Every structure is written in structure tokens, then in C-alpha cells.
């Protein structure tokens, strides 16, 4: 089955939360189950949350564009934001430390997406970050 | 997202999580989880049998508790995660602080070996 879903959210954690059911419904309608469904939802939650929390240098409301496509090569997730330039494919993520004194595991979400998705591509286009994840 | 407290008295804490550990799931359960698991400072078994999804926010909740217990000389063992949750936990590399075990008696034994 082929399909496409496009929507926008504001740069708030609340909007990421509210939009999660859209991703779950798209996964169900695309026939994704098990690991593929998991990786799609994980990729969306991690990348969208990352953009919301760290992507913008001002306090203004920004629109984040989301495109989900189910095509012959599989399911892809594309996120577009007009925040500062940030390449999640290359950004350094610190190694996890078991030391109890160390803080929260920064970058854990990005590390997970990089390792569990089939591929992730980044480009900077006309002031927009464009990240495409193939599930 | 639900947190069921199976055992809070005695030598160890035993809780069971069920649902999705996504943004909403963590928000709804984190305070109770911290109060039941971290605050007591006792070794803990966290039953993940009924958890169908976990993202980094959920892992951070588990990890924060595991580190708090570790500082107290106690251990947190993750019990029986579903295959995809297990893969994510292993991929994140958290097994060094949070051992994962699918056999309950072995999970209990792990709590003794700090």
C-alpha cells in the first residue's frame, strides 16, 4: 500500500505529544508492525523533540513540517525546520557513561535513531534543515 | 501508562510498567516511579513485559533511577522487555548500569550482586 501524510506542528513538546497518534495511525495504515513501526515512531519522537528543544535561538513560534511517505523503497519520514543549521547525522553525541555522578544521557535519542533506522540523510535548503529517515 | 507496585516492602522493590514510555507515558508515571523506586534506595526489579514502546525519555527515567540506586550500592534490573524494547535498550548501551534479564529467579539473583 502506498500513502502520504503531511502536517505541521509548532515548536512545543505539547505539539509533538499531540501529533504522535498521527504517526501511529500512519504506521497502522501502512501495515507497519513490530520493529518497523517502533523505529518510525521512535525516529519521529526523538527528532521532533530535538528540534523543539534545541533547534531555535529565539522564543518565537516556528512551524515544523512533517512528511510521511510509504513507497516502493519503504516508509520514509522527513522533518523540516527553519532553526539554526544542525545535521543530526554528523552531530557528535557523547558516549554513555555509567558513572552515577554523570548527568542525563545527552544524545541518546539521536544515537538510537542513527543505529536503528535504515538510513538518515540531511541537507540545508534555503534556510531550512531537511532530515529524511528511511525506516 | 501504568505503574503497578507489586512489592514495596522487604529487601527489594518490584514494580511493573505497562503501556508506552513515550512523552505522555513518562510524564504520567515518572513522579510515582521515582518515589517508589529511587526514593527507597533498595534494589529494584522493573517488569517491562507490558511495555510496547520506549524512547530516550523513558530510558532516561529508568537510568536516573538506576544511577540513584547505584550510588546507594543497589541495583536496578530490567525484567523481560519485549524484543524491540530490548534491542533499543541494548543499542543505547545501558546494560552496564541496568542489567536486563528474562528469567525472574536470575533477575532476583542479580540484585544481590552489586
| In the predicted structure, residue A126 carries a pLDDT above the cut 70 | yes
Tens of pLDDT, residues B16-25 = 999 999 999 9
Domain of A126, in residue numbers: 3-134
CB-CB neighbors (< 8 A) of B86 in chain A:
none
Report the CATH number at residue A102: 3.30.565.10
| ipTM of this complex prediction, to 2 decimal places | 0.91
At B4, list the grid cell: 503497578
Phi/psi region, residue B44 (left: phi>0; alpha: psi -120 to 50; beta: rest), is beta
| Number of domains within chain A | 1
Nearest to B96 among A16, A98, A102 (CB): A98
- Once rounded to an integer, what is the mean pLDDT over residues A66-80? 95
- pLDDT, residue B97, reads 80
Q: Given CB atoms, is B91 within the 8 Å cutoff of chain A?
A: yes
- Once rounded to an integer, what is the mean pLDDT over residues A40-66? 96
Q: Given CB atoms, is B59 within the 8 Å cutoff of chain A?
A: yes
Distances from the Cα of A65 to the Cα of A60, A94, B13, B69, angstroms = 16, 28, 44, 41
State whether B88 and A111 contact (CB < 8 Å): no
The single-letter DSSP state of residue A61 is -
CB-CB neighbors (< 8 A) of A46 in chain B:
55-56
For residue B22, which phi and psi values (nearest 5 degrees)?
-100, -165
- pLDDT, residue B103, reads 96
- pLDDT, residue B46, reads 98
Residue count (chain B): 114
Q: Given CB atoms, is B103 within the 8 Å cutoff of chain A?
A: no
- pLDDT, residue A101, reads 53
Residue written as grid cell 500500500: A1
- pLDDT, residue A96, reads 64
- Once rounded to an integer, what is the mean pLDDT over residues A65-81? 95
CB pairs under 8 A between A and B: 70
Distances from the Cα of A53 to the Cα of A18, A57, A83, B83, B91, angstroms = 16, 10, 11, 30, 23
Report the alpha-carbon distance of residue A107 to residue A110 in Å, rounded: 5
Chain B residue closest in CA terms to A35: B84
- pLDDT, residue A97, reads 61
CB-CB neighbors (< 8 A) of A34 in chain B:
84
Distances from the Cα of B95 to the Cα of A33, B59, B88, angstroms = 26, 11, 11
The overall average pLDDT reported for chain A is 91
**Beta carbons within 10 angstroms of residue A93's beta carbon:** 15
Pairwise pLDDT comparison (B9 vs A130), residue with the higher score? A130
| In the predicted structure, residue A105 carries a pLDDT above the cut 80 | no
Query: Which domains are seen in chain B, by residue range?
Result: 2-112 (3.30.750.24)
Tens of pLDDT, residues B60-112 = 999 999 999 998 999 999 999 999 999 999 998 887 789 999 999 999 999 98
| In the predicted structure, residue A108 carries a pLDDT above the cut 90 | no
Report the alpha-carbon distance of residue B52 to residue B48 in Å, rounded: 9
Report the alpha-carbon distance of residue B97 to residue B76 in Å, rounded: 8
Amino acid at each position: 500500500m502506498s500513502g502520504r501524510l503531511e502536517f505541521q506542528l509548532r515548536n512545543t513538546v505539547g505539539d509533538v505529544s499531540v501529533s504522535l497518534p498521527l504517526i501511529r495511525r500512519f504506521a497502522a495504515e501502512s501495515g507497519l508492525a513490530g520493529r518497523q513501526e517502533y523505529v518510525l515512531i521512535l525516529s519521529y519522537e526523538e527528532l521532533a523533540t530535538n528540534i523543539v528543544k534545541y533547534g531555535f535561538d529565539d522564543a518565537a513560534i516556528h512551524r515544523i513540517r512533517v512528511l510521511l511517505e510509504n513507497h516502493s523503497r519503504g516508509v520514509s519520514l522527513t522533518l523540516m525546520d527553519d532553526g539554526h543549521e544542525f545535521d543530526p547525522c554528523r552531530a557528535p553525541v557523547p558516549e554513555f557513561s555509567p558513572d552515577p555522578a554523570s548527568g542525563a544521557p545527552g544524545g541518546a535519542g539521536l544515537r538510537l535513531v542513527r543505529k536503528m533506522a535504515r538510513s538518515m540523510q540531511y541537507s540545508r535548503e534555503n534556510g531550512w534543515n531537511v532530515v529524511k529517515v528511511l525506516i | 501508562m501504568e505503574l503497578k507496585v507489586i512489592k514495596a516492602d522487604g529487601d527489594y522493590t518490584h514494580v511493573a510498567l505497562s503501556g508506552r514510555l513515550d512523552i505522555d507515558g513518562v510524564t504520567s508515571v515518572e513522579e510515582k516511579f521515582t518515589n517508589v523506586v529511587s526514593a527507597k534506595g533498595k534494589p529494584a526489579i522493573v517488569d517491562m513485559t507490558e511495555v510496547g514502546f520506549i524512547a530516550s525519555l523513558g530510558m532516561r527515567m529508568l537510568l536516573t533511577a538506576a544511577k540513584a540506586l547505584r550510588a546507594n550500592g543497589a541495583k536496578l534490573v530490567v525484567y523481560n522487555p519485549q524484543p524491540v524494547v530490548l534491542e533499543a535498550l541494548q543499542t543505547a548501551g545501558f546494560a552496564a548500569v541496568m542489567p536486563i534479564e528474562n528469567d525472574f529467579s536470575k533477575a532476583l539473583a542479580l540484585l544481590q550482586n552489586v
